[in-house]
Structure 1
Amino acid sequence: MTSEHIPRSGETAPRHVVFVTWKAGNAPAFEAARRLGHHVTLIRSLSMERSQNIDFESSPYTKYVDRVHVLHDATDLDALRRCVRAVHEERPVDGFVATVDALVVPVAVIAEEIGVPFTDARAAAAAKQKDRCRDILAAAGLDSTRHAVVTGFEEAAAFAAGTGYPVVVKPARGSGSEGAHVVNGPGELREVFAATPRNAAYRAGILIEEYLRGRFVSAEIGLAQGRFLRLAVSERSTWDRHEALETGTTIPAGITAEEHDRVMEYAEAVVGALGLRLGVFHVEMMIGADGQPRLIELNPRIMGSCLPNLFRLAGGGDIFELLVRVHLNERIERGPTEFTHYATVRWFGAAHAVPRPDRVPGLGWATAEYGDSLHALTVRFPDGDMIPPCRGNLGNFGEVQVVHADRTVSIRIAEDIVRRTADLLGMEVTR
């Protein structure tokens, strides 16, 4: 498939942007690149699309993309390298965009090989290896969170005896809260370690950390030509019965201007200490009782799920356009984002294993009652006779997006809709 863009007066010549992703939800980023006048190539990863029930073909992406290459597994470095080199030989690549954790490092490696600016490969790998990231930040004086990589229950119990409970157990490398647990005592710790051999998320090691108390937020920042872009601070919610499971986000966060600046300064220091060099980054942290942020994790890619859309709904503008411009290493003149609304998402899944309902109940009541404040409400059950308990982001089957000028009202509407939907379903959900 091909499409031709004719530059308007004053435009620069089109550049070549290569997206490597399995997310059909990135179609707005493809559209932004085309709108900016660029040639767009997409490299897909069929195995991950299938494993996550992603139907790329029904998405509107095709009209924004000039060339498509479908790999069986884009995380296969050699297969991705062959594809990228062929693409680069046919039309030199000016910038890469990778929006999925598992693809950032292989794309970074290949970008360095062919001399295209991108996120530093070693820094991206260190960011995803959580213990290594903490070690680097500790050496820079930015992180004091006690942590250890352990091989089994006895080592973990010894660590917890030194720090006290609760502790956090999670994969040393991973994302989406998969395999993460907040553990409140020795009995729970033993149960978690009894299950780790069956959990593929722990292949890169088991990390145990001290538990951080405070307000859970994330900073979204860009970095191009050595200049930081302060995009957003969002507040996060978790399920009180499994704290490692995120249940939603509100953009912007309900924090003071002073707290906002402190969070952004900390995020910039973290990204700088790792040496990530170029990109849009998602930095999760806890604001402690002393007002100081402490790192939860650093993701060397743009915020995921529907959060870019929340950014737009809240009045922040088109973050996908910024993403493209950052990865083309453009000089971007932009001050801190000035939001006009509060956009909230709440995700939900089954609290316990339950039989899969025969159908999704009617949801029109929500639009009728909440009107323009309700942006989206979706319920999509997984295949199979049973719905498994939700213990990670991939286990959610429902999502509600709300936008309102008042932060408290935005959050209340979203939570009310989740509660009432659960009542209609006749099941307990994570919320």
Structure 2
Amino acid sequence: MRLYLLALPPTDSVTEGFLPAAQRLGLDVTVITDHAEPHRRAYAGLAVVPEVVELDPRDFREVISFVSRHHPPAAIFSNSDHLQTQTALAAQYFGLPAKDWKATFRAKNKAQLRRHLAATGLDTVRSAEVAPGNDPAELAELDIPFPCIVKPREGVASEDVALAENLDQLLAAARGIRERRPTGGLVIEEYLEGQLCTLETLGDATTRHVVGGFRTEVLLPTFIEKLLEFVPQHPQPVVDQILAQLDEVGVGLGACHTEFVIQADGRARIIEVNYRAIGDRLDLLLPRLLGIPYFELVLRVHLGEALPADLGIRSGLLTHSFYLCADQAGTLTTAPEATDQVIDGVELSYRPLRAIGETHPLHGTNRDYLGVIETIGPDLDEVRRVAAEFLEAHRWEITP
């Protein structure tokens, strides 16, 4: 059986998660990407190296044409934020299990998500859209609450997300984003205060499971995630609110990573729906944390298999993931090497996310990450302590 995997840049999720899982399932894999050579380098050390084909995965028509003349597909899959709709359309063409393309479009297009949720009556976030080509100056004529958020309509992670306290800051941020993304739309929306969290779900054709979530802290005003801790079960009223909204969006098949805030009155309000697995190596924690073959389960539902009624999730373990973030442009000259340790019963791993000797500007996004400290154990105070001691014992230096 052949799995076609659509991708843009190589990611740890694919290299360390989905490709080894595909091998364990006995699948032949063809990776379709617009730049093949970085993928060939990334996969060179794998036990089974997938076929890599250079083709624009953003064009579902070309994907369909290629698959039609290549090997028959058992599944067409992507974990990319940018490729969910194309993947859904290609999979549907071949009669394969697929996400609803309308749901993937709503999730990716942040303005459409806001309009859709408002139309359902479940949640209305005050927002506005600047269409591609329109002058951001039109925002001066709108009734926009401050503080507010401005971000790319089809953005990902924290890239080009800005907090504006007044109209001058909003216009400056919007014009800056438009200069960097001249063909993209912008979304402006009210700032939702509250505890930032995530909900991780996994579904097959008929059933959706909640596999847990994370509590998140971010750096302001860039909204870069700096700390995430696993939450086995958010309060049920909160989960019910988010699931009701995901139902209206159309989220079901496969993995979904939803970011939301819990406000002081218990109201849960979605920030964005990422219709794929959580990233930044947190998905790679899930098999160890939950005791389930997470990546295999995701692939199995795209092969048309049903999930078990009970996933067999192990409870009792907690995590602390702390991201080291550059605070200036320059060359990374000092940083620890990757390590895996067990300290006082706590599993600790450190993974560099930037190599010593690399020179980078300051992006104001998660591309500024230098490395991540991950700890897993049964006691939250202990996993925090072990992570803090590792942080204190090591140095990360950037030379301008």
1:41/1:179 CA distance change after superposition, 3 Å? same
Q: Structure 2 CA distance, aligned partners of 1:252 and 1:382?
A: 33
Alignment match, 1:18: 4
Alignment match, 1:83: 66
The Cα shift of 1:76 comes to: 3.4
Could you tell me whether the CA contact under 8 Å between 2:319 and 2:377 is conserved in 1? yes
The Cα shift of 1:329 comes to: 2.8
Q: Identical aligned pairs, as a percentage?
A: 23
Spell out the pairing of 1:163-174 with structure 2 (5 A cutoff): 163=145, 165-174=146-155
Q: Structure 2 CA distance, aligned partners of 1:138 and 1:391?
A: 31
Return 108-117 or 41-50, whichever deviates more.
41-50
Q: Is 1:184 the counterpart of 2:165 in the alignment?
A: yes
What SS class does the counterpart of residue 20 from structure 1 fall into? Answer: strand
The Cα shift of 1:153 comes to: 4.6
Q: Which amino acid aligns with 2:52?
A: H
The Cα shift of 1:172 comes to: 0.8
1:208/1:352 CA distance change after superposition, 3 Å? same
Residue in structure 1 matching 2:300, options 325, 337, 344: 325
Spell out the pairing of 1:370-389 with structure 2 (5 A cutoff): 372-378=346-352, 380-381=354-355, 386-389=359-362
The Cα shift of 1:373 comes to: 3.1
Q: Is 1:398 the counterpart of 2:384 in the alignment?
A: no
Could you tell me whether the CA contact under 8 Å between 2:216 and 2:229 is conserved in 1? yes
Q: Which runs of 4+ in 1 moved over 6 A?
A: 368-371
Alignment match, 2:262: 287
1:270/1:108 CA distance change after superposition, 3 Å? same
Could you tell me whether the CA contact under 8 Å between 1:284 and 1:298 is conserved in 2? yes
Unaligned runs of 5+ in 2: none
Q: Structure 2 CA distance, aligned partners of 1:389 and 1:48?
A: 27
CA RMSD of aligned residues (A): 3.0
Spell out the pairing of 1:203-242 with structure 2 (5 A cutoff): 203-239=183-219, 241-242=220-221
Spell out the pairing of 1:30-429 with structure 2 (5 A cutoff): 30-36=19-25, 38-47=26-35, 50=38, 55-60=41-46, 62-63=47-48, 68-87=51-70, 90-91=71-72, 93-150=73-130, 151-159=134-142, 162-163=144-145, 165-200=146-181, 203-239=183-219, 241-252=220-231, 259-335=234-310, 337-353=313-329, 355-357=330-332, 359-363=333-337, 372-378=346-352, 380-381=354-355, 386-415=359-388, 417-418=390-391, 421=394, 423-425=395-397
What SS class does the counterpart of residue 356 from structure 1 fall into? Answer: strand
Q: Structure 2 CA distance, aligned partners of 1:115 and 1:56?
A: 31
Q: Which amino acid aligns with 1:35?
A: R
Return 213-222 or 305-314, whichever deviates more.
305-314
Could you tell me whether the CA contact under 8 Å between 1:222 and 1:280 is conserved in 2? yes
Alignment match, 1:29: 18
Instruction: For residues 387-427 of structure 1, give each alpha carbon's deviation from its aligned partner in whole angstroms, at most 9, with x where no partner exists.
Output: 32241122322222221222233234435544654x55268
1:54/1:40 CA distance change after superposition, 3 Å? closer
Could you tell me whether the CA contact under 8 Å between 2:222 and 2:365 is conserved in 1? no
Unaligned runs of 5+ in 1: 1-14
Q: Which amino acid aligns with 1:33?
A: A
Q: Which amino acid aligns with 2:295?
A: F
Provide the aligned length of Structure 1 versus Structure 2.
393
1:49/1:103 CA distance change after superposition, 3 Å? farther
What SS class does the counterpart of residue 373 from structure 1 fall into? Answer: strand
1:424/1:285 CA distance change after superposition, 3 Å? closer
Q: Structure 2 CA distance, aligned partners of 1:244 and 1:228?
A: 29
Alignment match, 1:5: none
Q: Which amino acid aligns with 1:425?
A: E
Q: Structure 2 CA distance, aligned partners of 1:100 and 1:425?
A: 32
1:223/1:414 CA distance change after superposition, 3 Å? same
What SS class does the counterpart of residue 351 from structure 1 fall into? Answer: coil
Q: Structure 2 CA distance, aligned partners of 1:415 and 1:185?
A: 37
What SS class does the counterpart of residue 23 from structure 1 fall into? Answer: coil
The Cα shift of 1:56 comes to: 1.7
Q: Structure 2 CA distance, aligned partners of 1:128 and 1:278?
A: 16
Give me the TM-score of the superposition, normalised by structure 1.
0.81
* Structure with greater helix share of residues: 1
What SS class does the counterpart of residue 84 from structure 1 fall into? Answer: helix
Alignment match, 1:11: none
Could you tell me whether the CA contact under 8 Å between 2:4 and 2:75 is conserved in 1? yes
Q: Structure 2 CA distance, aligned partners of 1:76 and 1:20?
A: 11
1:297/1:415 CA distance change after superposition, 3 Å? farther
1:326/1:169 CA distance change after superposition, 3 Å? same
1:364/1:381 CA distance change after superposition, 3 Å? closer
What SS class does the counterpart of residue 332 from structure 1 fall into? Answer: coil
Instruction: For residues 307-357 of structure 1, give each alpha carbon's deviation from its aligned partner in whole angstroms, at most 9, with x where no partner exists.
Output: 11222232342210210122123222244744321122222332222x314
Q: Structure 2 CA distance, aligned partners of 1:49 and 1:137?
A: 41
Q: Structure 1 CA distance, aligned partners of 2:316 and 2:296?
A: 19
Q: Which amino acid aligns with 1:388?
A: P
Q: Structure 2 CA distance, aligned partners of 1:323 and 1:366?
A: 26
